[in-house]
Structure 1
Amino acid sequence: MGVRLAGLLPGELDEPQAEVYRAITGGPRAAGPQAFPLTDEEGRLRGPFNAMLLSPPVGQALQAVGSAVRYASVLTDRARELAILAVAAHWGSAFEREAHEAVGRACGLTETEMAALRSGTEPDLPDPAEAATLRTARTLTAAGRLTDEEYAEAVRVLGERALFELTTLVGYYGLLALQLRVFAGEEPPAPATETNEERQGT
């Protein structure tokens, strides 16, 4: 992955950019043990956070949405990370996957569960809320909507607030994945190739 947007050192930031920087590095993301570093060795923001400095008003609002869906949601930590990793797999975002697999391990996701998330297969999730969260997140990324039946089931298991927060989360991490493609040069996953048997209809 070739980085297109050069990172800014903390000393190069103007005051509006510095406010965004402080909100990211000094807010809830920085509290307690960090599963992945927010900055490089010289203090430049990593991943999608770097591009947020281009427009401090938009960047400040965007990082606040991200902070809310991660730290002020009724979704459990495991359910949240299941959903984020489903979005990362859909978009083929290496940064999101690596960062949130690290967070997922800290939240108790197993390597088997994360392997299933990477491959798009079904992990064994005995918790109904976790299973509904993952199912709904995958439906939203694939179809961009819920049928009436899917909506009713998600509300029955999760509740309306959690479903609202989940749809916001799916949109937020999809947006970050898009920005990583544009500003960090992340490549989308290669399309699956047909086997000889599939091409021959066997």
Structure 2
Amino acid sequence: MTDRLGPIPFDSMTPAQQAAAQTVIDGPRGALYGPFVPLIRSPELMLAAQQMGEYLRYRSAIGTRLSELAILVTARHWNQQVEWAIHAPIAAQEGIAQHVIDAIAARRVPEGLRPDEQAVYDFCSELQRDKGVADATYAAALHLFGEHGVTDLMGLNGYYTFLAMVMNAARSAVPPSMAAPLPE
């Protein structure tokens, strides 16, 4: 499949696109890649998205390890290869066990999750699959993470669903990765 909204050379961008791109490049991401490649066509949308994503990815109330787990569940639900290629290696680096990553990739329920990982996996899986979360699942997440954490967990699911939709529709090119591609 052809990338519908591939990279734009920096010198071919409008001034608004250049300013937005530079904001991402100067931030913790260090480069314009992944979802920001198609989103640069709408600089204001991209800036709003990157600001939300910067918070959720780097500073969420549930921490980076659990945020990465939530991202993987979302990427798998949306068959989003770019998100998977970027975040599966980060999840492993942050302490998500490889057998858990492999199970999610294969659409199997992971075994041996820590209690906080189980709460995140259950919450995200239900929210993605059922478009809501059962009372018991919500209560378990609330007990572990509080209202701030549960709100950030909902935000992670929504934000990475948005990015998955953008990249799936744009047919964004998958970057080289240490992670195996998601199986069909």
Which deviates the most, 55-64 or 123-132? 123-132
Corresponding letter in the other structure for 1:167: M
Which deviates the most, 157-166 or 177-186? 177-186
Tell me: CA distance 1:125–1:79, structure 2 relative to 1, closer, same or farther (3 Å): farther
- Answer yes or no: is 1:122 the counterpart of 2:109: yes
- Answer yes or no: is 1:178 the counterpart of 2:130: no
Structure 2 equivalent of residue 162 of structure 1? 149
Q: 5+ unaligned residues in a row in structure 2: which ranges?
A: 174-182
Tell me: CA distance 1:82–1:125, structure 2 relative to 1, closer, same or farther (3 Å): farther
| CA offsets 1:112-144 (integer angstroms, 9 cap, x no match) | 121011122232344321210111011111011
Question: How far 1:25 sits from its partner (Å)?
Answer: 1.6
Structure 2 equivalent of residue 27 of structure 1? 27
Which deviates the most, 107-116 or 174-183? 107-116
Structure 1 equivalent of residue 43 of structure 2? 56
Structure 2 equivalent of residue 193 of structure 1? none
What CA distance in whole angstroms lies between the structure 2 residues aligned with 1:47 and 1:4? 13
Look up the SS of the partner of 2:29 in the other structure. Answer: helix
Question: How far 1:46 sits from its partner (Å)?
Answer: 3.0
Corresponding letter in the other structure for 1:3: D
Structure 2 equivalent of residue 9 of structure 1? 9
- Give every structure 1 segment of 4 or more consecutive aligned residues whose post-TM-superposition deviation is greater than 3 Å: none
Question: How far 1:81 sits from its partner (Å)?
Answer: 0.9
| CA offsets 1:9-50 (integer angstroms, 9 cap, x no match) | 1112222212221222210223xxxxxxx4xxxxxx432111
What CA distance in whole angstroms lies between the structure 2 residues aligned with 1:109 and 1:152? 23
Q: TM-score, normalised by structure 1?
A: 0.79
Tell me: CA distance 1:138–1:106, structure 2 relative to 1, closer, same or farther (3 Å): same
Q: Which has the larger radius of gyration?
A: 1
Corresponding letter in the other structure for 1:58: L
Tell me: CA distance 1:6–1:97, structure 2 relative to 1, closer, same or farther (3 Å): closer
Question: How far 1:151 sits from its partner (Å)?
Answer: 2.0
Look up the SS of the partner of 1:105 in the other structure. Answer: helix
Match of 1:145 among 132, 136, 143: 132
Give percent identity, aligned residues only.
29
Tell me: CA distance 1:148–1:113, structure 2 relative to 1, closer, same or farther (3 Å): closer
Tell me: CA distance 1:110–1:152, structure 2 relative to 1, closer, same or farther (3 Å): closer
- Answer yes or no: is 1:101 the counterpart of 2:88: yes
Instruction: Indicate the RMSD between aligned Cα atoms, in angstroms.
Output: 2.0
Corresponding letter in the other structure for 1:5: L
Tell me: CA distance 1:185–1:48, structure 2 relative to 1, closer, same or farther (3 Å): closer
Look up the SS of the partner of 1:159 in the other structure. Answer: helix
Q: TM-score, normalised by structure 2?
A: 0.87
